[in-house]
Amino acid sequence: MTALAGAFMIGGALALLAAGFSRGTSRRDLAEEIGYRPPGMPRPLQFGAAARRAERTGFGRRLARDLPRAGIRRPAGEFAVLLAAATIGAFLIVAAIGGVASGTAAAIALAATVRTAIRRRARRAVERFEDALPDALDLLAGSLEAGSSLAQAMEMVAEEGRPPLSEVFAGILSENRLGEPIADAMDSAAQRIGSRDFSWVVRGVRAQQEHGASLAGLLRVAAEFMRARREMHGEVRALTAEGRISAAILIALPFAVAGFFWLANPGYLRTLTSNAAGWGILGSAGVLMAGGTFWLTRIVKVEV
């Protein structure tokens, strides 16, 4: 019965996380307000006050920023509630097996892993967008030189480009058709994406609209600058690869050793969790690890 209950709880925690990472809806549209849902569209989960309260926290606001970038169309409040439920489930399961300290470590590890995965997916989506942006700017410039308007040129990129680039330009065109000035729509998209390169493009478009210039030439110069910057960024990453690998090993080594002893000889580490002195040592080690991790990651990170 204990094994069955543990398996049921583990399955429930995994199901909660799977529901969080599934493609949901990021906002309630008019169709939902009147009760209509197209066939095949997933029904959003309803958590009421808990989800609304979670959205108002700092963690909820960061989720609201990163989830769309990561391609997860789930409201931040719902995702936060799902993550909290899965974290509590992991704590209860591991605590029942290995004690409160192990349960706490498992809960923290689960929450940190999910948060890191979201941020990594969001960062990779931005990188894919910025990798394709110079070619899109060349296409925009060519269309403008052929006599097309900026909106017509962007429509061509939206039709011929690949996600996430095509999705971003399609969203800009949709806002423009609803009455939003195209520069403002581009600025909103740049803020949602978090792309510094696209923000530069928006500034160039605004400058051209206010002062007049060749927008096609400006876009071509921006594309060449972005290519050169990406090339330099690759060279810097190659030069700092050894330092980044060393930092990752140094950060992971204490946790790997502790995990090995926890599996091979649990009593060896139980001394640290059975008295106040042991907890003090663990707390001091955690503070030192946090400081060392901060400095190591800043040393090997070079902005280009």
Q: pLDDT at position 224, please?
A: 92
**In the chain, what are the domain boundaries?**
1-98, 126-227, 240-304
Cβ–Cβ < 8 Å for 214, 207: no
The DSSP 8-state label assigned to residue 168 in this structure reads H
Q: pLDDT at position 38, please?
A: 46
**Each residue's pLDDT tens digit in the chain (304 positions)?**
444 344 444 444 444 455 455 444 444 443 343 343 444 444 555 556 666 776 677 777 788 788 887 778 778 778 888 888 888 988 898 888 877 777 888 888 888 888 888 888 888 888 888 888 998 899 899 888 888 888 888 888 888 877 778 888 888 999 888 888 888 999 888 888 888 889 889 988 888 888 877 888 889 999 999 999 888 888 888 888 888 899 889 999 988 998 888 888 877 877 787 888 888 888 898 899 989 889 888 888 777 6
Closest CA to 75 of 37, 24, 121: 24
Which run of H or E residues covers position 267? helix 266-273
For the chain, give percent helix, strand, coil, nearest 5. 80, 0, 20
CATH 1.20.81.30 fits 126-227, yes or no: yes
CA distances from 101 to 271, 279, 302 (A): 12, 10, 37
In angstroms, the CA 256 to CA 252 distance is: 6
Closest CA to 251 of 302, 280, 291, 301: 291
